[in-house]
Amino acid sequence: MSDLKQLFTQAAEAAAHYRDQVAEAPELPRLAYKALVERMSAPVPESGSAPDAVLRELLALTEGGLMPIVGPRFFGWVNGASHPAGVAADIMVAAWGQNAGFHTATPAASAMEAVAERWLLDLLDLPEESGIGFATGATVANATCLAAARTHVLGKVGWDADADGLFGAPPVHVLIGAEAHSSLFASLQLIGFGARRVIKVDVDGEGRIIPAALERAIAGLEGPKVIIAQAGHINSGAFDPFTDIAAIARAHDAWLHVDGAFGLWARASANAAERALTNGIEHCDSWCTDGHKWLQVPYDCGFAIVRHKATLEKAMTQWASYLPQIGTGDRVPSAYVPELSRRARGVPVWAVIKALGRDGIAEMVARHCRLARRLGERLAAEPGIEVLNQVVINQVSVSFGSDEATRAVIARIQEDGVLYAGGSHWRGRWVMRLSVTSGPTADADIEITADAIIAAARAVKALV
């Protein structure tokens, strides 16, 4: 065997070994961050090492500190499980070393991204004239979409934000749901709209924008406007009423953006009830969603989808004599995202969609929603456990009475290690958040999970 083949084979074997182990008996990290930093700390190596020795040391140093995010009973945050087809594709992406910023330099990688772009618009049933930037995640994708919004709404009043910036520009009114995801405020901060300089619109008990409140907030506002809606609330999974919101946006000539980091995939569900939650979303101007959440693409991957492709290109384009010309008809990958050089992010996206297929994605999304409902029902049937949200997609938010009890159950669950779930603060209370987003999660995992949570709740109750 060549040295290279031996090296890559060792990496592939270690990867397969890890995945088999996580599939069978997922283990939570035994070591905390500080202990791992201590284990890994060393001075800069004065001389190099053989690559296979580096790989062996890397495996030894991380042992006991890996979170089983790719396992079947990981319900923390909203995390996908890195589909094996995407992992294999990413090995090729790294090995090829294609700089996928421009199509003239890396034709195959750029062509695959162009095809993945068409597939995503088809799967999500969004306007085919849209362009998609392949970004690192929803945070950057949101910022990318909002930058296009900025270019568009200021352009309409004769201000070139890309050339002249925001100093002295006509003010832009930004209206956003009171329970929008934290990352949107980071995006607003980044693009110069300001995290605080927004109009927060009242929401209902599930965190959905109330159309009448939006109407009241926008009435009488003069000048450029951007509305930010949400598909998939982080704690409830709820969807804003897009048909009503889109009508208000149209009437007031506002750009309508939607953060659908995970929820946008409800549109691809086999179940009509979940698809219906996204009704009217096709009327938005821009949409953001993640590849690394519900679609199961390995990290990192998010999509900035913008109906007005030329506006996105204007907001993102850079020019130098040694870069390809924009506007010649060919899709230039870097014209849709803030980055220039980057990995061939379209390749694992293509591979995961190819592996799952339209029906595989539809089945997975519908299964996760069905399993979330089942988990919610089992937990709600136990005295002392309260499911706080309507389980419309894959999110379940649970209280165990007092904040103290909820925190104690979460701590106990994390100690037991049967599953992973984290906490969140919602509607003035601590909740345990369970997000069913991992590709391999099956019916049996949900029964094991419900049993473990109920047992932990009983144990905590017996203590207090």
Ligand X SMILES: *Cc1c(COP(=O)(O)O)cnc(C)c1O
**Residue ranges in contact with ligand X by CB under 6 A:** 78, 137-139, 181, 183, 232, 234, 259, 261-262, 290, 302
Return the number of the residue (106 or 139) whose C-beta is nearest ligand X.
Answer: 139
Shortest Cβ distance from residue 213 to ligand X (Å)?
A: 20
Token pair 């010309």 in the structure block, residue: 325
Residue 58 DSSP SS3: helix
Shortest Cβ distance from residue 82 to ligand X (Å)?
A: 14
User: What distance in Å separates the CA atoms of residue 104 and residue 102, rounded to the nearest whole number?
Assistant: 6
Dihedral angle at the C-alpha atoms of 295, 297, 300, 302, nearest 10 degrees?
-40
User: What distance in Å separates the CA atoms of residue 340 and residue 322, rounded to the nearest whole number?
Assistant: 12
What is the chain's Cα-based Rg?
23
CA dist list (Å): 98 to 88, 105, 181, 319:
16, 8, 33, 20
CB 324 within 8 A of CB 274: no
DSSP label of 219: T
User: What distance in Å separates the CA atoms of residue 259 and residue 187, rounded to the nearest whole number?
Assistant: 11
Shortest Cβ distance from residue 146 to ligand X (Å)?
A: 12
DSSP label of 457: H
User: What distance in Å separates the CA atoms of residue 406 and residue 423, rounded to the nearest whole number?
Assistant: 8
Shortest Cβ distance from residue 174 to ligand X (Å)?
A: 16
Q: Write phi, then psi, for 425 (nearest 5 degrees).
A: -110, 120
Return the number of the residue (181 or 373) whose C-beta is nearest ligand X.
Answer: 181
User: What distance in Å separates the CA atoms of residue 366 and residue 266, rounded to the nearest whole number?
Assistant: 8
Return the number of the residue (137 or 440) whose C-beta is nearest ligand X.
Answer: 137
Return the number of the residue (255 or 287) whose C-beta is nearest ligand X.
Answer: 287
Shortest Cβ distance from residue 345 to ligand X (Å)?
A: 13
User: What distance in Å separates the CA atoms of residue 442 and residue 187, rounded to the nearest whole number?
Assistant: 35
Return the number of the residue (189 or 317) whose C-beta is nearest ligand X.
Answer: 189
Return the number of the residue (294 or 400) whose C-beta is nearest ligand X.
Answer: 294
CB 243 within 8 A of CB 280: yes
Shortest Cβ distance from residue 75 to ligand X (Å)?
A: 14
Q: Write phi, then psi, for 181 (nearest 5 degrees).
A: -65, 145
Shortest Cβ distance from residue 389 to ligand X (Å)?
A: 14
Return the number of the residue (303 or 430) whose C-beta is nearest ligand X.
Answer: 303
CB 439 within 8 A of CB 296: yes
CB 391 within 8 A of CB 434: no
Residue nearest to ligand X (CB): 137
Shortest Cβ distance from residue 394 to ligand X (Å)?
A: 11
User: What distance in Å separates the CA atoms of residue 11 and residue 13, rounded to the nearest whole number?
Assistant: 5
Shortest Cβ distance from residue 281 to ligand X (Å)?
A: 14
Shortest Cβ distance from residue 153 to ligand X (Å)?
A: 22
Residue 394 DSSP SS3: coil
Return the number of the residue (120 or 234) whose C-beta is nearest ligand X.
Answer: 234
Token pair 């979409």 in the structure block, residue: 145
Return the number of the residue (143 or 326) whose C-beta is nearest ligand X.
Answer: 143
Return the number of the residue (294 or 350) whose C-beta is nearest ligand X.
Answer: 294
